[in-house]
Amino acid sequence: MNAEITAQRVLGWAVTREGTLPSGPLWETARLGRPGRATRVLAGELARRTAATLGIGVPAPGDATTIGLGTVFLAAAVGGRGQPEPARRLAELARPAGRRAIGPRWYDLVALHGLVAAVLRDWRPPPPSSGTTTTVSTTVSGDGDEPEPLDEILLRVSPLSAVLHRPPLRKLAARATGEEVATAVELLARPRGAATLAAGLASWSPDHTVLSWRVELMRRLRADHPDAVLDIHCLARSRHGAEWDRRLSWARRALNRLGPPDPLAIATVEFWAPLFSAVRSGTELARVRPLLQGHEQALQLVRFHNLDKVGAR
Mean pLDDT, rounded, for 201-224: 97
Rounded CA gap, 94 and 75, in Å? 9
Whether 78 contacts 119, CB under 8 Å: yes
Q: Is 279 helix (H, G, I), strand (E, B) or coil?
A: helix
Q: Mean pLDDT in the chain?
A: 88
pLDDT at 61: 54
Determine phi and psi for 150, rounding to 5 degrees: -60, -40
Whether 165 contacts 210, CB under 8 Å: yes
Residue 104 predicted with pLDDT over 70: no
Rounded CA gap, 161 and 139, in Å? 19
State what percent of residues in the chain have pLDDT above 70. 86
Q: Is 241 helix (H, G, I), strand (E, B) or coil?
A: helix
Closest CA to 14 of 63, 64, 74, 58: 74
User: Residue 136 — pLDDT band, cuts 50, 70, 90?
Assistant: very low
| pLDDT tens, position by position, 48-74 | 999 888 877 766 555 545 688 999 999
Residue 260 predicted with pLDDT over 50: yes
For Cα atoms 299, 179, 262, give the angle at the middle one, nearest 5 degrees.
35
pLDDT at 285: 94
Least reliable range by pLDDT among 59-73, 203-217, 220-234, 260-274: 59-73
| pLDDT tens, position by position, 109-135 | 999 999 999 999 888 655 544 333 333
Closest CA to 212 of 271, 295, 156: 271
Rounded CA gap, 264 and 251, in Å? 8
Rounded CA gap, 227 and 274, in Å? 12
Rounded CA gap, 299 and 303, in Å? 6
Mean pLDDT, rounded, for 181-200: 93
Burial of 305 per CB tally in 10 Å (0-12, 13-18, 19+): buried
Closest CA to 217 of 169, 189, 265, 175: 175
Residue 107 predicted with pLDDT over 90: no
pLDDT at 60: 56
pLDDT at 54: 83
Determine phi and psi for 228, rounding to 5 degrees: -65, -40
| pLDDT tens, position by position, 282-298 | 999 999 999 999 999 99
DSSP 66: -
Mean pLDDT, rounded, for 15-33: 93
Rounded CA gap, 192 and 282, in Å? 27
| pLDDT top residue among 143 and 165 | 165
